[in-house]
A and B are shown apart, each in its own frame.
Chain A
Amino acid sequence: GEEVAQTPKHLVRGEGQKAKLYCAPIKGHSYVFWYQQVLKNEFKFLISFQNENVFDETGMPKERFSAKCLPNSPCSLEIQATKLEDSAVYFCASSFGRSSYEQYFGPGTRLTVT
Chain B
Amino acid sequence: DQQVKQNSPSLSVQEGRISILNCDYTNSMFDYFLWYKKYPAEGPTFLISISSIKDKNEDGRFTVFLNKSAKHLSLHIVPSQPGDSAVYFCAASEGNFGNEKLTFGTGTRLTIIP
Contacts and interface: CB of A to CB of B under 8 A. Distances in A.
Contacts of B97: 97-99
Interface size class of B (residues with CB under 8 A): 20 to 34
Interface string A55-76: 1101100000000000000000
Nearest to A43: B104
Contact of B87 (A4, A41, A56, A108): A41
A106 B42 CA distance: 8
Contacts of A7: none
Given A103-B46, A107-B42, A108-B43, A97 B98 contact: yes
A55 B98 CA distance: 12
A40 B103 CA distance: 15
B7 to A, nearest CB: 13
A55 B101 CA distance: 10
B101 A99 contact: no
A2 interface: no
Given A31-B99, A96-B98, A101-B93, A42 B106 contact: yes
A82 interface: no
A43 B89 CA distance: 10
Interface of A: 4, 30-31, 33, 35, 40-43, 45, 48, 50, 55-56, 58-59, 91, 93, 95-108
21 contacts: A4-B43, A33-B102, A43-B89, A43-B104, A45-B102, A48-B99, A48-B101, A50-B99, A59-B101, A91-B43, A95-B98, A95-B99, A97-B98, A98-B97, A101-B34, A101-B49, A101-B93, A102-B34, A103-B46, A104-B46, A106-B43
A-B CB proximity, top 10 nearest: A105-B43, A43-B104, A41-B107, A45-B101, A97-B99, A101-B98, A100-B98, A101-B32, A99-B98, A105-B44
Given A33-B101, A102-B34, A107-B42, 9 more contacts: A35-B104, A42-B106, A43-B89, A45-B101, A95-B99, A98-B97, A99-B96, A103-B102, A108-B43
